[in-house]
Chains A and B, each alone.
Chain A
Amino acid sequence: MAEHLAIEAQSLNLWYGTFQALFEVDLQVRAGIVTALIGPSGCGKSTFLRSCNRINERLGYVSTTGTIKVLGQDVYGEQVSAIQVRRHVGMVFQRPNPLPLSIRDNVLFGHRLHSGKRVNKADGDALVEEALRQVLLWDRVKDRLDHKATGLSLEEQQKLCIARLLPTKPSVLLMDEPCSALDPEATAAVEDLIWTLRGKYSILIVTHNMAQARRASDECVFMLMGRVVEHSATEEMFVAPKQQETADYIEGRFG
């Protein structure tokens, strides 16, 4: 059972200083599928996402109780290095944030951090091509790999931000509203991409966009005020929500 779970949170509580943002969150995210995390602003979706790769710690005033297991191992365990967690759990942000380097250097950035030695040209080229092919960007940028990544369109930038996670062979991809800075066409393109990555990676995606959650996820988690209210197959949640709050939110009565 456990190996089919990408992320498993058990009675996770989280505080920003004295403000409690997550309450007793129990959540099992299955491996290899796309799980959408929905709920109104401030409900703890992003906080949960940021706990999975321990990036919340950077703030310095965050405390947690409970456990989050990624691939069966507690990421807050004593022997665990946050840096290794981040290598295996990639994060994509709301605003595409390519580094001010060339496209090629962006793709190789994470790999260089973790491989510890210089990447030779041929290996680097192979990694870059493989990653860019996976995000359906190769044909568009293969002739300008040494151009600045910040000169790409937003859609291309976001795809590049996904591509640069892939060379370190992550198992889980976390996406924090990855399409909310994009226009409808680009959104569709990135959604398509997420769908092609499904299966190879376990994807947890935070979204404000109900239509997107419905189109582009297998399972859906509805959160409210720092708690998980409902977790079910996407189809089920949108057709027959079990909880009244879920139904109200989905139908746009609040949030």
Chain B
Amino acid sequence: MSSFDGFSSTPLEQRNNSVQQLVRLLFLTITLLLLIPAVATIVVLIVEGAPGLSLEFFLDKPRQNGAAGGIAPALVGTVWLTAGALLFALPLGVAAAIYLSEYAKDNWLTRAINVAIVNLAGVPSIVHALFGVGAFVHFMQFGKSILAASCTLAVMTLPVVIVATRESLQAVPKAFREACWNMGATRWQTIWKVVLPNSGSGILTGLILVVSRAVGETAPIMFTGAVFLRALYPSGVFDKTMALSLHLFNVSTQVNDVPRHVPFAVALTLIGVVLAMNAAAIALRMRLRGRKKW
């Protein structure tokens, strides 16, 4: 005997439907609420900081401890520090990632190294700063300098470079490696000719992460190379330098009688630099992605 009594919905189904609608609404609200801090930060920075921006602000040296004048030395210093961090972190990180992904056998040592890398990524930046003081400023005798600060930033960002690169190397299909090996290519020939050219997007991701962190971090550089005020552009890697992030800290908390718009203008510049770098790298990455097809 059939129990068919039409296709109209039952009370149970209606209850299930209203629960599901409720859940959808709840989660949508939470997601929208999460947007508020992000949007609010940007809006406040623009509203409060924009009046402080001017050509003079970018090109001039700070006066009255940063309360007046511009941020040119800090801007230039940040570029030096970031470039230095990239110069160390990118080649070393990519080399380590290649070793871990392409050469290392899966044994206890490799696993230990991988765990160490993950843990290194979780070390607070102030601890990296202290390590940098000990290792680079004193032990390597770089003194408090751009070199020491760049090395500290590089150590701090190495794990993210390694992880991002390793993941993109592993995303290159195994079939390509097999094809190469079976034609008599060595591992290095395979890596150089096929694997690396196809993992550019991951290496770029590493680059973005290094840049964003190197530009923004304050703790690792304040003990190792960045100074409060130095109205000179760096002339070499052993110079000390100003940096945007530290300058922001100073004009917000350490200097009296700073016009209200100055810290906001510095913060806006800092965020602008990071966003511009990220946007450039993302655009480059999309172009690389568009080229590859498999």
Contact = CB atoms under 8 A, between A and B. Distances in A.
A90 B184 CA distance: 9
Nearest to B197: A100
A100 B176 contact: yes
Contacts of A93: 175, 178-179, 182
Interface string A88-118: 0011010101111100000001100110000
B181 interface: yes
Closest 9 CB pairs of A and B: A86-B184, A97-B175, A110-B183, A91-B182, A83-B184, A97-B179, A87-B184, A113-B185, A150-B293
A91 B181 CA distance: 10
30 contacts: A53-B182, A55-B178, A55-B181, A58-B181, A86-B182, A86-B183, A86-B184, A87-B184, A93-B175, A93-B178, A93-B182, A97-B175, A97-B176, A97-B178, A97-B179, A99-B176, A99-B180, A100-B292, A101-B194, A109-B193, A110-B184, A113-B184, A113-B189, A114-B184, A148-B293, A150-B294, A151-B293, A161-B179, A165-B183, A168-B184
Interface centre among B105, B184, B197 (most CB of A within 10 A): B184
Given A97-B176, A97-B179, A84 B184 contact: yes
Interface of A: 53, 55, 58, 60, 83-87, 90-91, 93, 95, 97-101, 109-110, 113-114, 148, 150-151, 161, 164-165, 168
A228 B194 CA distance: 38
Interface centre among B182, B186, B194, B198 (most CB of A within 10 A): B182
Contacts of A109: 180, 183, 193
Nearest to B183: A110
Interface SS majority for chain B? helix
Interface in B168-201: 173, 175-176, 178-186, 189, 193-194, 197-198
A141 to B, nearest CB: 17
Contacts of B185: 113
B196 to A, nearest CB: 12
B175 A95 contact: yes
Nearest to B184: A86
Given A95-B175, A100-B293, A164 B183 contact: yes
Contacts of B183: 86-87, 90, 109-110, 113, 164-165, 168
B178 to A, nearest CB: 7
B102 to A, nearest CB: 12
Given A97-B173, A100-B197, A150-B293, 5 more contacts: A60-B105, A99-B179, A100-B198, A113-B185, A148-B293
A91 B183 CA distance: 8
Given A113-B189, A150-B293, A99 B182 contact: no
A45 B183 CA distance: 20
Nearest to B176: A99
A172 to B, nearest CB: 12
Interface centre among B181, B194, B293, B294 (most CB of A within 10 A): B181
Given A100-B176, A100-B194, A150-B293, A86 B181 contact: yes
Given A148-B293, A150-B294, A90 B182 contact: yes
Nearest to B293: A150
A157 to B, nearest CB: 11
A53 to B, nearest CB: 6
A58 B178 CA distance: 10
A168 B182 CA distance: 12
A55 B193 CA distance: 19
A152 B173 CA distance: 18
Contacts of A84: 184
A91 to B, nearest CB: 4
B247 to A, nearest CB: 46
Nearest to B105: A60
A95 B294 CA distance: 12
A164 B183 CA distance: 9
Given A99-B176, A99-B194, A113-B189, A55 B182 contact: yes
Contacts of B293: 100, 148, 150-151
A11 B292 CA distance: 46
A40 B197 CA distance: 39
A150 B198 CA distance: 13
Contacts of A168: 183-184
Contacts of B178: 55, 93, 97
A150 B293 CA distance: 7
A114 B182 CA distance: 13
B175 A100 contact: no
A84 B184 CA distance: 7
